[in-house]
Structure 1
Amino acid sequence: MILAADDPTWANEVKAKLQATGLLGTIDVVNAQTVTPTVAQMQAYKAILTWSNYGYANNSTLGNNLASYVDGGGGLVVAVFANASISLAGNINTSAYQVLVPASQTQSAQLTMGTVLLPSHPIMQGVSTFNGGTSSFKSTSTTLAPGAYRIANWSNGDPLIMARDNVGASNAKRADLNFFPPSNTSRSDFWQANTDGARIMANALLYVGGKCYCSAL
Protein backbone atom coordinates (compact mmCIF):
# COMPACT_ATOMS: atom_id res chain seq x y z
CA MET A 1 0.00 0.00 0.00
CA ILE A 2 1.09 3.53 -0.78
CA LEU A 3 -0.36 5.73 1.97
CA ALA A 4 0.40 9.27 0.86
CA ALA A 5 -0.80 12.63 2.12
CA ASP A 6 0.15 14.12 -1.21
CA ASP A 7 -1.05 15.09 -4.67
CA PRO A 8 -2.69 11.90 -6.02
CA THR A 9 -0.95 12.41 -9.36
CA TRP A 10 2.42 12.36 -7.63
CA ALA A 11 1.46 9.32 -5.54
CA ASN A 12 0.48 7.47 -8.69
CA GLU A 13 3.79 8.41 -10.29
CA VAL A 14 5.54 6.68 -7.38
CA LYS A 15 3.26 3.68 -7.89
CA ALA A 16 4.24 3.54 -11.57
CA LYS A 17 7.93 3.73 -10.69
CA LEU A 18 7.58 0.90 -8.19
CA GLN A 19 5.64 -1.25 -10.64
CA ALA A 20 8.30 -0.65 -13.30
CA THR A 21 10.92 -2.32 -11.09
CA GLY A 22 9.13 -5.63 -11.61
CA LEU A 23 9.79 -6.54 -7.99
CA LEU A 24 6.34 -5.96 -6.51
CA GLY A 25 2.83 -7.19 -7.10
CA THR A 26 -0.34 -5.11 -7.09
CA ILE A 27 0.08 -1.74 -5.38
CA ASP A 28 -2.91 0.20 -4.05
CA VAL A 29 -2.77 3.96 -3.42
CA VAL A 30 -4.68 5.53 -0.51
CA ASN A 31 -5.00 9.31 -0.19
CA ALA A 32 -4.09 9.86 3.46
CA GLN A 33 -5.23 13.49 3.29
CA THR A 34 -8.80 12.25 3.36
CA VAL A 35 -8.70 8.58 4.44
CA THR A 36 -7.38 6.92 7.60
CA PRO A 37 -7.25 3.16 7.01
CA THR A 38 -8.24 0.87 9.84
CA VAL A 39 -5.84 -1.73 11.19
CA ALA A 40 -7.91 -4.43 9.50
CA GLN A 41 -7.60 -2.65 6.16
CA MET A 42 -3.85 -2.30 6.61
CA GLN A 43 -3.49 -5.97 7.43
CA ALA A 44 -4.45 -6.89 3.86
CA TYR A 45 -0.95 -5.68 2.90
CA LYS A 46 2.49 -7.06 3.67
CA ALA A 47 4.07 -3.61 3.56
CA ILE A 48 3.12 0.07 3.55
CA LEU A 49 5.03 3.08 2.22
CA THR A 50 3.87 6.36 3.73
CA TRP A 51 4.95 9.94 3.18
CA SER A 52 3.41 13.38 3.51
CA ASN A 53 3.39 16.64 1.62
CA TYR A 54 0.20 17.82 3.30
CA GLY A 55 -1.30 16.95 6.67
CA TYR A 56 -2.68 13.49 7.31
CA ALA A 57 -6.46 13.30 7.78
CA ASN A 58 -5.91 12.20 11.39
CA ASN A 59 -2.25 11.69 12.13
CA SER A 60 -2.80 10.47 15.70
CA THR A 61 -5.31 7.78 14.76
CA LEU A 62 -3.20 6.84 11.76
CA GLY A 63 -0.09 6.60 13.92
CA ASN A 64 -1.87 4.37 16.42
CA ASN A 65 -3.20 2.15 13.63
CA LEU A 66 0.23 1.89 12.02
CA ALA A 67 1.75 0.86 15.36
CA SER A 68 -0.87 -1.87 15.72
CA TYR A 69 -0.16 -2.94 12.13
CA VAL A 70 3.57 -3.23 12.92
CA ASP A 71 2.75 -5.10 16.15
CA GLY A 72 0.91 -7.60 13.98
CA GLY A 73 3.97 -8.13 11.79
CA GLY A 74 3.30 -5.57 9.05
CA GLY A 75 6.23 -3.85 7.36
CA LEU A 76 6.37 -0.05 7.35
CA VAL A 77 8.54 2.32 5.31
CA VAL A 78 8.37 6.03 6.22
CA ALA A 79 9.71 8.76 3.92
CA VAL A 80 9.92 12.57 3.82
CA PHE A 81 8.04 14.59 5.07
CA ALA A 82 6.45 12.05 7.41
CA ASN A 83 9.82 11.72 9.16
CA ALA A 84 10.44 15.45 8.97
CA SER A 85 8.18 18.50 9.24
CA ILE A 86 4.77 16.84 8.61
CA SER A 87 5.25 13.85 10.85
CA LEU A 88 3.02 11.04 11.96
CA ALA A 89 1.71 11.18 15.52
CA GLY A 90 0.32 8.62 17.94
CA ASN A 91 2.15 5.47 18.95
CA ILE A 92 4.13 5.07 15.75
CA ASN A 93 5.93 8.33 16.59
CA THR A 94 7.49 6.93 19.76
CA SER A 95 10.88 5.36 20.37
CA ALA A 96 9.34 1.88 20.32
CA TYR A 97 8.60 2.19 16.58
CA GLN A 98 10.67 5.04 15.14
CA VAL A 99 13.69 4.74 12.89
CA LEU A 100 14.64 8.36 12.18
CA VAL A 101 13.40 10.63 14.96
CA PRO A 102 11.43 13.37 13.13
CA ALA A 103 12.60 16.98 13.10
CA SER A 104 12.18 19.76 10.57
CA GLN A 105 12.95 19.64 6.84
CA THR A 106 15.49 21.21 4.59
CA GLN A 107 15.79 21.94 0.91
CA SER A 108 19.50 21.49 0.37
CA ALA A 109 21.86 22.10 -2.45
CA GLN A 110 21.77 19.13 -4.79
CA LEU A 111 22.84 15.97 -2.96
CA THR A 112 23.64 12.45 -4.09
CA MET A 113 24.10 9.14 -2.32
CA GLY A 114 27.36 9.23 -0.42
CA THR A 115 28.95 6.55 1.73
CA VAL A 116 27.20 3.19 1.68
CA LEU A 117 27.78 1.82 5.16
CA LEU A 118 26.16 -1.58 4.60
CA PRO A 119 26.63 -2.47 0.91
CA SER A 120 25.41 -6.04 1.42
CA HIS A 121 22.13 -4.99 3.05
CA PRO A 122 19.07 -6.18 1.06
CA ILE A 123 17.86 -2.60 0.56
CA MET A 124 21.07 -1.89 -1.37
CA GLN A 125 20.61 -4.78 -3.81
CA GLY A 126 20.82 -3.40 -7.36
CA VAL A 127 21.37 0.17 -6.09
CA SER A 128 24.38 2.07 -7.38
CA THR A 129 23.33 5.73 -7.73
CA PHE A 130 20.87 8.18 -6.25
CA ASN A 131 20.56 11.88 -7.05
CA GLY A 132 18.17 13.90 -4.90
CA GLY A 133 17.65 16.59 -7.53
CA THR A 134 18.12 20.31 -7.17
CA SER A 135 15.89 20.43 -4.08
CA SER A 136 17.07 17.21 -2.37
CA PHE A 137 14.33 17.51 0.26
CA LYS A 138 15.20 15.69 3.49
CA SER A 139 14.70 15.72 7.22
CA THR A 140 17.07 17.84 9.29
CA SER A 141 17.24 15.03 11.84
CA THR A 142 20.34 12.89 12.24
CA THR A 143 19.01 11.16 15.37
CA LEU A 144 18.06 7.50 15.11
CA ALA A 145 15.87 5.67 17.59
CA PRO A 146 17.46 2.97 19.77
CA GLY A 147 18.18 -0.11 17.66
CA ALA A 148 17.96 1.72 14.33
CA TYR A 149 20.96 1.87 12.01
CA ARG A 150 22.20 3.68 8.93
CA ILE A 151 22.56 1.81 5.65
CA ALA A 152 23.64 4.69 3.42
CA ASN A 153 24.32 8.40 3.82
CA TRP A 154 23.73 11.44 1.71
CA SER A 155 26.83 13.01 0.17
CA ASN A 156 26.84 15.57 3.01
CA GLY A 157 27.00 12.81 5.62
CA ASP A 158 23.37 12.95 6.75
CA PRO A 159 21.39 9.67 6.86
CA LEU A 160 19.71 8.64 3.60
CA ILE A 161 18.60 5.02 4.08
CA MET A 162 17.96 3.55 7.53
CA ALA A 163 16.36 0.46 9.03
CA ARG A 164 15.48 -1.14 12.32
CA ASP A 165 14.81 -4.80 13.03
CA ASN A 166 12.78 -6.52 15.76
CA VAL A 167 10.22 -3.73 16.12
CA GLY A 168 6.99 -4.16 18.05
CA ALA A 169 5.28 -7.23 19.43
CA SER A 170 6.00 -9.36 16.34
CA ASN A 171 9.63 -8.25 15.85
CA ALA A 172 8.78 -6.62 12.54
CA LYS A 173 11.19 -4.74 10.30
CA ARG A 174 11.03 -0.98 9.69
CA ALA A 175 12.79 1.32 7.26
CA ASP A 176 13.04 5.07 6.80
CA LEU A 177 14.02 6.86 3.60
CA ASN A 178 15.26 10.40 4.00
CA PHE A 179 14.03 11.61 0.62
CA PHE A 180 10.71 12.66 -0.91
CA PRO A 181 9.35 9.76 -3.01
CA PRO A 182 8.04 11.52 -6.18
CA SER A 183 10.72 11.91 -8.85
CA ASN A 184 11.50 14.54 -11.45
CA THR A 185 8.86 12.89 -13.60
CA SER A 186 6.44 14.77 -11.33
CA ARG A 187 8.47 17.95 -10.81
CA SER A 188 11.84 18.93 -12.19
CA ASP A 189 13.57 19.57 -8.84
CA PHE A 190 12.75 16.15 -7.33
CA TRP A 191 15.07 13.12 -7.31
CA GLN A 192 16.34 12.16 -10.73
CA ALA A 193 14.42 9.25 -12.20
CA ASN A 194 17.46 7.96 -14.08
CA THR A 195 18.99 7.01 -10.72
CA ASP A 196 17.94 4.24 -8.36
CA GLY A 197 15.28 5.84 -6.15
CA ALA A 198 12.56 3.45 -7.29
CA ARG A 199 14.77 0.44 -6.57
CA ILE A 200 15.56 1.81 -3.11
CA MET A 201 11.84 2.16 -2.33
CA ALA A 202 10.98 -1.27 -3.77
CA ASN A 203 13.82 -2.94 -1.89
CA ALA A 204 12.75 -1.25 1.34
CA LEU A 205 9.20 -2.54 0.91
CA LEU A 206 10.47 -6.04 0.20
CA TYR A 207 12.76 -5.90 3.21
CA VAL A 208 10.14 -4.84 5.72
CA GLY A 209 7.55 -7.12 4.12
CA GLY A 210 9.75 -10.17 4.49
CA LYS A 211 10.95 -10.20 0.86
CA CYS A 212 7.55 -11.52 -0.10
CA TYR A 213 6.63 -11.12 -3.78
CA CYS A 214 3.05 -10.55 -2.76
CA SER A 215 -0.09 -9.81 -4.70
CA ALA A 216 -0.69 -6.71 -2.59
CA LEU A 217 1.76 -4.20 -1.20
Structure 2
Amino acid sequence: YHAVLVFSNPGFQDPVLLGDRLAAFHDQGGGVVVTAFANGNLRGAYASPANLNGYALLDYAGDVYGGYGSLGTVQEQQSPLMIGVASLSAPNAYRSAATIITGAVVVAWWDSDVSPANGGQPLVLRGTRGNRTLVELNFFPPSRGALA
Protein backbone atom coordinates (compact mmCIF):
# COMPACT_ATOMS: atom_id res chain seq x y z
CA TYR A 1 0.00 0.00 0.00
CA HIS A 2 1.07 3.57 -0.63
CA ALA A 3 -1.15 5.05 2.06
CA VAL A 4 -3.51 4.06 4.85
CA LEU A 5 -6.59 5.73 6.32
CA VAL A 6 -6.80 5.03 10.05
CA PHE A 7 -10.11 5.19 11.89
CA SER A 8 -11.60 3.41 14.86
CA ASN A 9 -14.74 3.00 16.89
CA PRO A 10 -14.13 2.55 19.77
CA GLY A 11 -10.46 1.49 19.86
CA PHE A 12 -7.69 -0.80 18.69
CA GLN A 13 -6.72 -4.23 20.01
CA ASP A 14 -3.08 -3.15 20.45
CA PRO A 15 -2.84 0.65 20.14
CA VAL A 16 0.88 0.73 21.02
CA LEU A 17 1.86 -1.79 18.35
CA LEU A 18 -0.34 -0.08 15.76
CA GLY A 19 1.14 3.33 16.63
CA ASP A 20 4.66 1.95 16.30
CA ARG A 21 3.83 0.30 12.95
CA LEU A 22 2.22 3.46 11.57
CA ALA A 23 5.29 5.48 12.53
CA ALA A 24 7.54 2.96 10.78
CA PHE A 25 5.25 2.91 7.71
CA HIS A 26 5.45 6.71 7.51
CA ASP A 27 9.23 6.72 7.98
CA GLN A 28 9.59 4.19 5.15
CA GLY A 29 7.67 6.39 2.72
CA GLY A 30 4.03 5.43 3.31
CA GLY A 31 1.24 7.95 3.69
CA VAL A 32 -0.72 7.92 6.94
CA VAL A 33 -4.03 9.75 7.38
CA VAL A 34 -5.51 9.61 10.88
CA THR A 35 -9.15 10.47 11.61
CA ALA A 36 -11.24 11.39 14.64
CA PHE A 37 -11.30 8.83 17.46
CA ALA A 38 -8.24 7.07 16.05
CA ASN A 39 -6.24 10.14 17.07
CA GLY A 40 -7.30 9.47 20.66
CA ASN A 41 -6.86 5.71 20.56
CA LEU A 42 -3.41 5.44 18.98
CA ARG A 43 -0.40 5.04 21.25
CA GLY A 44 3.23 4.18 20.76
CA ALA A 45 5.59 6.13 18.53
CA TYR A 46 2.86 7.62 16.34
CA ALA A 47 0.75 9.36 18.94
CA SER A 48 3.01 10.91 21.50
CA PRO A 49 2.04 14.59 21.70
CA ALA A 50 4.18 15.13 24.79
CA ASN A 51 7.09 13.83 22.72
CA LEU A 52 8.03 16.50 20.21
CA ASN A 53 9.25 13.71 17.96
CA GLY A 54 5.74 12.27 17.73
CA TYR A 55 3.62 12.18 14.59
CA ALA A 56 0.25 13.37 15.92
CA LEU A 57 -1.09 16.75 14.81
CA LEU A 58 -3.84 16.95 17.43
CA ASP A 59 -3.55 16.47 21.17
CA TYR A 60 -6.75 14.53 21.75
CA ALA A 61 -8.92 15.78 24.61
CA GLY A 62 -12.19 13.89 24.13
CA ASP A 63 -14.99 13.19 21.71
CA VAL A 64 -17.44 15.81 20.54
CA TYR A 65 -20.77 15.18 18.94
CA GLY A 66 -21.47 18.48 17.31
CA GLY A 67 -24.73 17.63 15.62
CA TYR A 68 -24.82 19.15 12.18
CA GLY A 69 -21.48 20.34 10.86
CA SER A 70 -20.23 21.75 7.61
CA LEU A 71 -17.07 22.99 5.97
CA GLY A 72 -16.04 26.34 7.37
CA THR A 73 -13.05 28.49 6.55
CA VAL A 74 -10.52 26.91 4.21
CA GLN A 75 -7.15 28.37 5.19
CA GLU A 76 -5.28 26.82 2.25
CA GLN A 77 -7.50 27.04 -0.82
CA GLN A 78 -4.82 25.55 -3.08
CA SER A 79 -3.92 22.63 -0.82
CA PRO A 80 -3.95 19.25 -2.58
CA LEU A 81 -5.99 18.06 0.40
CA MET A 82 -8.85 20.34 -0.65
CA ILE A 83 -8.85 19.81 -4.43
CA GLY A 84 -12.39 19.06 -5.51
CA VAL A 85 -13.86 19.86 -2.08
CA ALA A 86 -16.49 22.57 -2.45
CA SER A 87 -18.62 21.65 0.54
CA LEU A 88 -19.08 19.20 3.38
CA SER A 89 -22.41 18.57 5.03
CA ALA A 90 -22.55 16.18 7.97
CA PRO A 91 -25.83 15.72 9.87
CA ASN A 92 -23.93 13.84 12.60
CA ALA A 93 -20.55 15.56 12.65
CA TYR A 94 -18.51 13.46 15.03
CA ARG A 95 -15.12 14.99 15.71
CA SER A 96 -12.50 15.13 18.42
CA ALA A 97 -12.09 17.89 20.96
CA ALA A 98 -8.39 18.53 20.58
CA THR A 99 -5.61 21.04 20.81
CA ILE A 100 -3.50 21.71 17.75
CA ILE A 101 0.05 20.53 18.32
CA THR A 102 2.84 23.02 17.61
CA GLY A 103 3.94 22.68 14.00
CA ALA A 104 0.59 21.46 12.71
CA VAL A 105 -1.06 23.61 10.04
CA VAL A 106 -4.84 23.92 9.82
CA VAL A 107 -5.93 23.53 6.21
CA ALA A 108 -9.67 23.86 6.93
CA TRP A 109 -11.94 24.50 9.92
CA TRP A 110 -15.37 23.23 10.84
CA ASP A 111 -18.23 25.68 10.17
CA SER A 112 -18.90 28.94 12.03
CA ASP A 113 -20.83 27.20 14.81
CA VAL A 114 -17.49 25.81 15.95
CA SER A 115 -15.23 28.53 14.58
CA PRO A 116 -11.72 29.01 15.94
CA ALA A 117 -12.87 32.27 17.54
CA ASN A 118 -15.53 30.32 19.44
CA GLY A 119 -13.16 27.56 20.54
CA GLY A 120 -13.92 25.58 17.41
CA GLN A 121 -12.15 22.61 15.97
CA PRO A 122 -9.98 22.11 12.91
CA LEU A 123 -11.33 19.86 10.17
CA VAL A 124 -8.21 19.14 8.08
CA LEU A 125 -4.62 19.45 9.30
CA ARG A 126 -1.22 18.82 7.80
CA GLY A 127 2.28 18.68 9.16
CA THR A 128 5.67 17.20 8.39
CA ARG A 129 8.06 14.79 9.98
CA GLY A 130 11.27 13.79 8.27
CA ASN A 131 10.30 15.94 5.25
CA ARG A 132 7.22 13.77 4.74
CA THR A 133 3.65 15.02 5.01
CA LEU A 134 1.33 13.98 7.83
CA VAL A 135 -2.45 14.43 7.60
CA GLU A 136 -5.26 14.35 10.15
CA LEU A 137 -8.95 14.58 9.30
CA ASN A 138 -10.91 15.63 12.36
CA PHE A 139 -14.08 13.73 11.53
CA PHE A 140 -15.32 10.16 11.76
CA PRO A 141 -15.39 9.00 8.13
CA PRO A 142 -17.99 6.19 8.00
CA SER A 143 -21.60 7.07 7.34
CA ARG A 144 -24.24 6.40 9.96
CA GLY A 145 -25.41 3.41 7.92
CA ALA A 146 -21.98 1.80 8.14
CA LEU A 147 -22.45 1.35 11.88
CA ALA A 148 -25.93 -0.18 11.69
TM-score band w.r.t. shorter chain: 0.7 to 0.9
The amino acid that maps onto 2:135 is A
CA distance in 2, matches of 1:66, 1:109: 31
Identity of counterpart residues, as a percentage?
A: 35
Matching residue of 2:79: 121
How far off its partner does 1:146 sit? 2.5
- The residue number in structure 2 matching 1:160 is 123
Residue identity matched to 2:24: S
Counterpart CA distance in 2 for 1:55 and 1:102 is: 14
CA shift, 1:54, in A, is 2.4
Segments of structure 1 that go 5 or more residues without pairing to the other structure are 1-44, 189-217
Deviation at 1:131, TM superposition (A): 1.2
Structure 2 unmatched runs, 5+? 116-120
Q: Which residue of the partner structure matches residue 13 of structure 2? A: 57
RMSD: 1.6
TM-score by length of 2: 0.85
Corresponding pairs, count: 137
Deviation, structure 1 residue 186: 2.9
Kindly report which structure 2 residues correspond to 1:1-217, keeping only aligned pairs within 5 A, or say none: 45-84=1-40, 87-95=41-49, 96-133=54-91, 135-141=92-98, 143-155=99-111, 156-157=114-115, 158-165=121-128, 167-168=129-130, 171-186=131-146
Q: Please identify which structure carries the higher strand content.
A: 2
TM-score (norm 1): 0.59
Q: Cα deviation per residue 1:68-121 (whole Å; 9 max; x = unaligned)?
A: 11111211000011124xx10001012421111222101113111111111110
* Deviation for aligned residue 1:187: 5.9
- Per-residue CA deviation, residues 111-148 of structure 1 (Å, 9 max, x unaligned), is 11111111110011010010121x2110011x222321
SS of structure 1 residue aligned to 2:60: coil
d(CA) in 2 for partners of 1:73 and 1:173?
A: 10
> Residue 183 of structure 1: CA displacement?
2.0
Q: What is the identity, as a one-letter code, of the residue corresponding to 1:97?
A: Y
Q: Structure 1: which 4+ aligned runs deviate by more than 4 Å?
A: none
CA offsets, 1:173-213, max 9 Å, x none?
Answer: 1100011111245369xxxxxxxxxxxxxxxxxxxxxxxxx
Question: Which has the higher relative contact order, 1 or 2, with Cα contacts under 8 A spaced 6 or more apart?
Answer: 1
The answer to whether the Cα contact below 8 Å between 1:75 and 1:174 also exists between their aligned partners in 2 is yes
Q: CA deviation at 1:161?
A: 0.6
